[in-house]
Structure formats: structure tokens, C-alpha cells
Amino acid sequence: MDPYSESRFIGFVTMVSPLQTRVHFPSSILLKKFFNADDGYHAITGKYIVIEGTGCGFLGKITEIALPEKERLELTESKFEKDVFHPTGKVEILLCFDNYKLKAKKGLDQLPPVSAKVYLCSDTFLGSLLTQFGVKDGILPKTLPLATLPDNENHKIDVSSQALFGRHCAIVGTTGGGKSWTVAKLIEQVVAQNGKAILIDATGEYETLKSNEIEYYKFNEISQEGIYFNYKKLRETDLFALFRPSQQSQLPKLQEAMKSLRLIEIINNKNTPLDITDSLIKNEAFTTSREHGYTTLKKKDTTENFKYISACKNNTSVYSNHCTFEMTALAAQILSECVYDNGSPDNPARNNCQSLISRILLTTNDRSFLNVFDFKNELDLLCKNEFESIFENFLKGKSNVLILSVSNVSTENKLREILVNSIGRYLLEKALSEAFKAASKKSLLLFLDEAHLFLNKKVKDEYSIEVELDAFDRIAKECRKFGLFLVISTQMPRDIPRGVLSQMGTFIVHRLINQQDREAIEFACSDANKSALSFLPILSSGEAMLTGVDFPMPMILKITEPNVKPDSNTPSVF
């Protein structure tokens, strides 16, 4: 493979500066279509070229072609066909490669000499350079047949899977750019490589992917395919997000109530007391009342309160942030907390908590909340699929991908955000406990489509405390070393917190028109310089710029269509 074939010669380097290289085309004919060469047009803006240096060659991209000022006025078609025009071009040098090994070098430590010859880069050579990206120390990584060259569909490009996913990956682009198809293509590759991935489907468009290797479950649906998230896996802060207590008067009562309910659970679970303190609690039997199917703890008088305090001291797990208690009792328990030390009702406190109590009652009785979190412990009769057990089986089992659809979950009161955040946090905790790391275990890829709906979200209203839903931010920052890799897809990079964006090692950037979005990407990937980004608005569906820490230069590719397409068509208007 000779990158410098005379049939593709187009011109000479005439000026070199660190920012820009200029090329002189000795004849306008060299810009014309050359059917004997393999690439159709010889030189047009956007094409890759190679420059022959001594010892090493350079790969560049034509960013501009222009006619000299004085020749412009004389331009006619027939004259242009002949020799008489002398266009010049600007070239951006992308990388240098070894002339003998024909391999890309790390970093650009030199520039081409003036008067060096410039050739059009052949697809074969370009392809061979791109496929080597991400190859470390000569060890061939697993590569994924993911894409082709944009103007040559026959020329396949394999991308190293480690370079692609190894440091979290972001897929961005305006709507219709092809993100969902790219996600489907990547999922296809996860199956082909026998990996493990979870996909959170916000719109239900991935239902078409269901197969033997790909399990599909829907939240807020009572059927074979339905799945729910047991509220006992929630954390205190999730309840704050759901019930939005006010800082001053409601939050302390809510916390107190959760503590009491946890104490009830502890007492109920201690069947055989082991030591003195345990039996003390058991025998000191708090005044509990069981009404309407749930148990609350009554604080009657001062001595009862002392018992309560000492019981809490002996059972510090009442201070945990878990929600393993009877949720239906929570509203009533808050009322029981609104008492004075002597046990008489504290009416001002009750009044203050009224709005909180009604929010709790509304939420824990609302059908969509019940179907998602199973507050009444009733769903296992109707739908056997509890998230944790499904997930554990998925990890152990043969299937490669678990798709969780949240499209039926209402966004009212941030239910959907809270749910997705809880799933994220569950996976985060799993990862931190090294569930995906050990040699015998597989890493897990976590795909989050429409990530702008879930990242950077806070729950706050006029009076309530602010709760940040930050599980995915934390996954981005903490989980790479633990074998949990994030793949986010979004049409609005500007809505993703910068901290998260800068954790992304790889970007697949589809067409991107909005200036702010382009700036967000520019901020996140320093090596994708301005001129590479300037091609983003003119990419067509399915074309994308692939850039990242493990790729020496940004490259524009056409992502191959997935075999099974997601159902993402916009319905027709009429």
C-alpha cells in the first residue's frame, strides 16, 4: 500500500505554520473528477490528503479551496477545464505517520516541509490508519465493525471497543441526527461480543430490539413484561424528592417518623433476643397501634420517650438512610411525631405538617406511583418482575442486554427522573461494591438515551428543600475503574453538567447545528479543534464525528445501519 501514488498527486505545500498549511494546486484540472483514480473527485473541501515528508508523512484535511484574487474575474467553465487557473487550498494537519510502518504516531511533533508533495489520501490507507486507533503496545484490541467511510460505503472501518467504551462515551447530535440508530448499532455489537449492557429507554423506541439475547421490560405496566422498583431499595433522599418536605418544620418530623418506623421494623425482626439490650427493647414494647393495616409507634409520655431514645441508641441502624419500613404507615406516623414530651398533641406542628401528610397520602395512593414503587407491597402477586431480582438474574444469565423502558412512567412530580436516578444509584452502589470488576465478572455498559431528561436534575419547589438527583453524575466520575461504563446519548449537550461531559472519553457527534451545543462539545474534547467541529452542521443522518482521548484525530464516519432499527420515526402530520 503506497500512500504516495502519482495518480493521486494534487499539489505542493507552499506555506507552513503551526495553525495552517497552504497547498498550491499547479493546475485546476487536479480539482476535477478523475475517474481513473479510485475516489471520484480529486480535491474538494473536506477530503483527506497525505503529504510526503522525509521519514514521516502527514495526514490532513482540506478545509478551504480558493482561487487567487486576480484569477477570479476571468473564471469561465472552459478556461477552468484547461490548465490556466491556480487554486490554493488550506489544509489542517491531523496526524503524522511513519513512512515505513505506515502507522500513526502519537502527537504531532513536526510539520511538513515547504514544497512537499501532496496526494489525495486513498480510502484503503485512511481505513488502515483509522482501524489502528486505540491499539496499545501492539496488542490488537477487540474491534467492532461499526462504520464505513462517509463517501465509500464499501470501505468498512473497525473501531477498537476499548477506545470506544473504555472511558465513558457520549453520543450527541440534533434530533434526527441518528443517535438512536447508533445506540441500536452499539447494542447489536454488545450482543455480538457477548458483553453485558443495560439500556434505559425513555421513549419506548427500542422495543423492536427484543430478542433472545435482549430482554425488554416496561415500568408502570402490569403484565408479563412489566417491572417495578421496590421502594425498599430507595434512599431517604429519594423520599425527600418524592414528598418535598419544607426545610424548617416538615423535614425534621419526616426524618423522625422514618426513624420510628425503622425501629418498629427492627423490633419486629428480632425474634430471638440475643443479649440484654435486645431483650430490653423487646420487653419495653412501645405503644404501637395497628390500625388500617399498618403499625405506628405512639409517643405517649416522658418515660416512653426515654425508652425510645435508649432503644435508638442501641440500634443505630435506625439512623440509616434506607427505606425498609412500612410506607403506608408514614403519613400516620408523622402525625404521631407531632406531640409534646408529655404525649399531648402539638397542634401547631400538626398544622405545619398537614401539607406534607397530604402529599404523602396522595403519592403513596396514586396508581402510577404504586405501579412503579410498589408502596403497598402488593405487586408481586400481579407482576413477578422486581427490578433487583431481574437484574441479578440478568447478570448471571445468558442474555446480553437488559432494556428498561420508562416511557409509560409519568413525568409528573418528577416520578420518572426519581425512578431513573434510583436505578442509576442502585447500579452505582453495585459497581462500588465491585460487582462488575472481578476477573470472572463482566463489565457493564449503561446506556442512557435522551440523557438530557435525566442528568443535571434537581427537585425543588417554592418551599421544599432541594434534592439533587446525581446518580449518573457520580457514575461518570467514580465508576470507570469499577467496570461500569456509561454511554449517554443526548440532543442537548449544553444541558449535561460540564463535570459529566468532561469525564466522557469518547464522543460520537452527529449533526450539530446549535452554536451552544457545539461549544459544549468543544469544551469537553480539547483535541477536536475548531475546524473539525466546523464540519458538524453539514453531516447527514448517520454520519458522525468520532473523537476521543484514544483517537489521535477526530474522524468523520458513517455509522452502519443496525440490523434491527429502533422505532423512532416521527409520525406524519396529516
Question: For 482, which DSSP code?
Answer: G
Phi–psi pair at 24, nearest 5 degrees:
-105, 125
Q: To the nearest whole angstrom, how small is the minimum distance from the Cβ of residue 485 to ligand ATP?
A: 20
The binder of ligand ATP chosen from 98, 153, 527, 561 (CB under 6 A): 561
The binder of ligand ATP chosen from 230, 336, 364, 491 (CB under 6 A): 491
Which one of ligand ATP, Mg ion, none interacts with residue 178, CB within 5 to 8 A by kind? Answer: ligand ATP
Residues 178-197 that bind Mg ion (CB under 5 A): 179-180
Which of 183/459 has CB closer to ligand ATP? 183
Q: How far is CA 226 from CA 384, 385, 390, in A?
A: 8, 7, 11
Which of 59/147 has CB closer to ligand ATP? 147
Q: Does 511 bind ligand ATP (CB under 6 A)?
A: no
Position of cell 463517501? Answer: 151
Which of 271/569 has CB closer to ligand ATP? 569
Q: To the nearest whole angstrom, how small is the minimum distance from the Cβ of residue 474 to ligand ATP?
A: 25
Q: To the nearest whole angstrom, how small is the minimum distance from the Cβ of residue 562 to ligand ATP?
A: 8
- Contacts of residue 301, defined as CB under 8 A and 6 or more positions apart, other chains included, come to 341, 342, 343
Q: To the nearest whole angstrom, how small is the minimum distance from the Cβ of residue 555 to ligand ATP?
A: 16
Which of 233/510 has CB closer to ligand ATP? 510
Residues in the chain: 574
Contact 123, 149 (CB under 8 A): yes
Which of 179/233 has CB closer to Mg ion? 179
Position of cell 405545619? Answer: 352
Which of 40/176 has CB closer to ligand ATP? 176
**Using CB under 5 A, which of the segments 22-30, 90-98, 171-179, 290-298 binds Mg ion?**
171-179
Of 410, 420, 412, 404, residue with least CA distance to 469:
420
Residue type, 82: K
Show the cell assigned to 313: 441508641
Residue type, 343: G
| CA–CA distance, 415 with 368 (Å, rounded to integer) | 9
Which one of ligand ATP, Mg ion, none interacts with residue 176, CB within 5 to 8 A by kind? Answer: ligand ATP
Which one of ligand ATP, Mg ion, none interacts with residue 296, CB within 5 to 8 A by kind? Answer: none
Buried b (16+ CB within 10 A) or exposed e, 231-259: bebbbbbbbbbbbbbbeebbbebbbbbbb
Contact 168, 160 (CB under 8 A): no
Contact 356, 254 (CB under 8 A): yes
Q: To the nearest whole angstrom, how small is the minimum distance from the Cβ of residue 557 to ligand ATP?
A: 10
Phi–psi pair at 475, nearest 5 degrees:
-60, -45
User: Residues binding Mg ion: what is the number (CB under 5 A)?
Assistant: 2
Contact 249, 258 (CB under 8 A): no
Which one of Mg ion, ligand ATP, none interacts with residue 224, CB within 5 to 8 A by kind? Answer: none
Percent helix, strand and coil across the chain, each to the nearest 5: 35, 25, 40
367-396 mask for Mg ion (x: CB under 5 A)? ------------------------------
Q: To the nearest whole angstrom, how small is the minimum distance from the Cβ of residue 409 to ligand ATP?
A: 18
What DSSP string describes 379-422?
A: HHHH---BHHHHHHHHHHSS--EEEEE-TTS--GGGHHHHHHHH
User: How do beta strands 196-201 and 543-548 pair?
Assistant: unpaired
Show the cell assigned to 521: 462539545
User: Residues binding ligand ATP: what is the number (CB under 6 A)?
Assistant: 15
Q: Pseudo-torsion of CA 545, 546, 552, 555, nearest 10°?
A: -40
Which of 176/499 has CB closer to Mg ion? 176
Which one of ligand ATP, Mg ion, none interacts with residue 245, CB within 5 to 8 A by kind? Answer: none
Residue type, 339: V
Which one of Mg ion, ligand ATP, none interacts with residue 559, CB within 5 to 8 A by kind? Answer: ligand ATP
Q: To the nearest whole angstrom, how small is the minimum distance from the Cβ of residue 572 to Mg ion?
A: 18
Residues 518-557 that bind ligand ATP (CB under 6 A): 541-542
Which of 386/449 has CB closer to ligand ATP? 449
Which of 94/420 has CB closer to ligand ATP? 420
Which of 371/568 has CB closer to ligand ATP? 568
Q: For ligand ATP, which residue has the nearest CB?
A: 542
Show the cell assigned to 327: 410506607
Which of 93/403 has CB closer to ligand ATP? 403
Burial degree of 534 (CB within 10 A; 0-12, 13-18, 19+): exposed
Which of 283/569 has CB closer to ligand ATP? 569
162-201 mask for ligand ATP (x: CB under 6 A)? -----------x-xxxxxxx--------------------
Q: To the nearest whole angstrom, how small is the minimum distance from the Cβ of residue 28 to ligand ATP?
A: 35
Helix (H, G, I), strand (E, B) or coil at 562: coil
- Contacts of residue 94, defined as CB under 8 A and 6 or more positions apart, other chains included, come to 48, 58, 59, 60, 61, 552, 553, 554
Residues 374-413 that bind ligand ATP (CB under 6 A): none
**Using CB under 6 A, which of the segments 17-25, 266-274, 476-484, 561-569 binds ligand ATP?**
561-569
Residue ranges in contact with ligand ATP by CB under 6 A = 173, 175-181, 491, 541-542, 559, 561, 568-569
Residue ranges in contact with Mg ion by CB under 5 A = 179-180
